[in-house]
């Protein structure tokens, strides 16, 4: 008896673990649940249908997302090729899956024409019923989302260079671009005058923008330079993070790398680079003279020269190992990237300047120079 009860308890627990929040409707119970004071989204499916099978786990998630509001909205399904075939015929179902929205008072149903991803379905149910799902909203994107009301303020701002991706929610190429575009926006998050933006050009209220800028396919990407807003530039490059970064650096005059850090040249001053290289290779006595020379030169170069002097002073005052230790410390910070973008820029500039304190690269002589030396010998 104990064994039987244990099996029964196990069966109950398994059954509850797989309990579905999707209400199964048939001709016998359809009118009890639909059009009786609660709106309903109903999927008409066929068990053999591949698209239905693909939708099934998402539809289960949708029902779970509104399980807290079963008294306000119904998420249901009908086997329209089996026991529910009469219902499929009644509501004009000719393909599977077909989703229809039934309002609370049982009026004529509305066919759902949106995307079959969880967000699209949940947003539709929320918009129709006023009931919020339990789905946690995703964090806002790094790129700016523009619409008909905000487009001119941002994209046509004469102080900003702006790249705009005109996309559509259903577009497969746009979906593949989205994570790449997100990384590009993060790369340029510190550049207030180089803006990465997006417009849903298929949204009804934004279609005037699509018409104005000749958007005939998705995604279409255009660059609006700050000095010529009347003639945006079509972006025809590769849809990779590397290609976008290279393009924006050229057009915006920035010096970012993939990942968002500044490139290795930012903060470097050619005149002080030459002294830094000599400083690295010289004796303590000569370093004192080079520090004095660098101080005089720095007075004509402004604040950008201060870190060169700080490094030289550290070494001259007895911290011989400072260069290596500080370089390693800064490299670790840049690798972890736990600081704010602005702080990381400061760290990167310091690391770049430290990079000047090394032997000058040897310049390979040309064939012509070698021939001249040979003739002189």
Q: Quick check: 363 pLDDT over 60? A: no
Of the residues 49, 156, 297, 333, only one is catalytic, namely 49
Pick the closest to residue 164 from 123, 204, 119, 206 (CA basis). Answer: 206
Any catalytic annotation for residue 52?
A: yes
Average pLDDT, the chain: 91
Percent of the chain with pLDDT over 70: 91
What does the pLDDT look like over 290-321, one tens digit per residue? Answer: 999 999 999 999 888 999 999 999 999 877 78
What is the predicted pLDDT for the residue at 319? 79
Pick the closest to residue 269 from 239, 318, 310, 303 (CA basis). Answer: 303
Of the residues 174, 194, 272, 356, only one is catalytic, namely 174
Q: From CA 255, how far away is CA 250, in angstroms rounded?
A: 8
The mean pLDDT value for 337-354 works out to 95
What does the pLDDT look like over 57-74, one tens digit per residue? Answer: 999 999 999 999 999 999
Q: From CA 197, how far away is CA 154, in angstroms rounded?
A: 9
- Give Cβ neighbours of residue 199 (< 8 Å, ≥ 6 apart): 145, 146, 147, 151, 164, 165, 166, 167, 206, 209
The mean pLDDT value for 204-210 works out to 95
Pick the closest to residue 25 from 69, 72, 73, 84 (CA basis). Answer: 84
Taking only Cα atoms into account, the Rg of the chain, rounded to an integer number of angstroms, comes to 32
Any catalytic annotation for residue 194?
A: no
| Token pair 């790094």 in the structure block, residue | 142
Pick the closest to residue 268 from 205, 311, 237 (CA basis). Answer: 311
- 95, 146, 224, 244, 327 from 230: Cα distances, Å: 47, 18, 8, 22, 47
Of the residues 135, 156, 171, 297, only one is catalytic, namely 171
Secondary element (H or E) of residue 288: helix 284-298
* pLDDT interval class at 349 (50, 70, 90): very high
Q: From CA 127, how far away is CA 25, in angstroms rounded?
A: 23
- 31, 280, 311 from 290: Cα distances, Å: 92, 10, 12
**Of 143 and 281, which is predicted with more confidence?**
143
Long-range contacts of range 209-217, CB-CB < 8 Å, 24 or more positions apart?
209/148, 209/151, 209/166, 210/166, 213/166, 215/166
**Range from 20-29, 37-46, 296-305 carrying the lowest mean pLDDT:** 296-305
**Domains of the chain, first to last:** 23-129 (3.40.30.10), 144-252 (3.40.30.10), 270-356 (1.20.1150.12)
CA atoms within 13 A on the CB side of 319: 11
Q: Which two tokens stand for residue 97?
A: 């899956």
* pLDDT interval class at 364 (50, 70, 90): low
Of the residues 40, 41, 42, 52, only one is catalytic, namely 52
Q: Quick check: 218 pLDDT over 50? A: yes
CA atoms within 13 A on the CB side of 182: 9
Q: Quick check: 16 pLDDT over 50? A: no
- Is residue 116 helix, strand or coil? coil
């Amino acid at each position: 008896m104990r064994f039987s009860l244990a099996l029964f308890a196990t069966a109950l627990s398994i059954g509850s673990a797989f309990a579905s929040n999707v209400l199964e409707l048939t001709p016998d119970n359809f009118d009890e649940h639909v059009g009786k004071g609660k709106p309903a989204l109903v999927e008409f499916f066929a068990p053999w249908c591949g698209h239905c099978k693909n939708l099934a786990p998402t539809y289960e998630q949708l029902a779970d997302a509104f399980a807290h509001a079963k008294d306000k909205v119904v998420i249901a399904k009908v086997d329209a090729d089996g026991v529910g075939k009469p219902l499929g015929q009644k509501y004009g179902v000719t393909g599977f899956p077909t989703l229809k929205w039934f309002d609370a008072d049982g009026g004529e149903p509305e066919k759902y024409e949106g995307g079959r991803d969880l967000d699209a379905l949940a947003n539709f149910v929320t918009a129709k019923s006023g009931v919020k799902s339990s789905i946690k909203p995703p964090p806002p994107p790094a790129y700016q989302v523009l619409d008909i009301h905000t487009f001119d303020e941002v994209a046509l701002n004469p102080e900003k260079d702006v790249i705009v991706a005109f996309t559509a929610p259903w577009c497969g190429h746009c979906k593949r671009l989205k994570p790449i575009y997100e990384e590009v926006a993060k790369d340029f998050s510190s550049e207030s005058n180089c803006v990465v933006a997006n417009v849903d050009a298929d949204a009804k209220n934004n279609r005037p923008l699509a018409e104005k800028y000749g958007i005939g396919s998705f995604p279409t990407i255009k660059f609006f330079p700050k000095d010529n807003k009347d003639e945006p530039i079509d972006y025809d490059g590769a849809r990779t993070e590397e290609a976008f970064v290279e393009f924006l650096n050229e057009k915006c005059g920035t010096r970012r790398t993939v990942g968002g850090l500044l490139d290795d040249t930012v903060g470097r001053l050619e005149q002080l680079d030459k002294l830094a290289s000599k400083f690295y290779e010289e004796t303590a006595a000569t370093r004192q003279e080079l520090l004095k020379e660098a101080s005089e030169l720095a007075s004509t170069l402004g604040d950008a020269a201060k870190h060169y002097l700080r490094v030289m002073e550290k070494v001259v005052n007895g911290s011989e190992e400072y260069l290596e230790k500080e370089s390693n410390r800064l490299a670790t910070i840049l690798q972890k990237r736990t600081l704010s973008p602005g702080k990381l820029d400061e760290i990167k500039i310091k690391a770049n300047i430290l990079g000047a304190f090394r032997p000058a690269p040897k310049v390979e002589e040309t064939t012509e120079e070698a021939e001249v030396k040979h003739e002189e010998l």
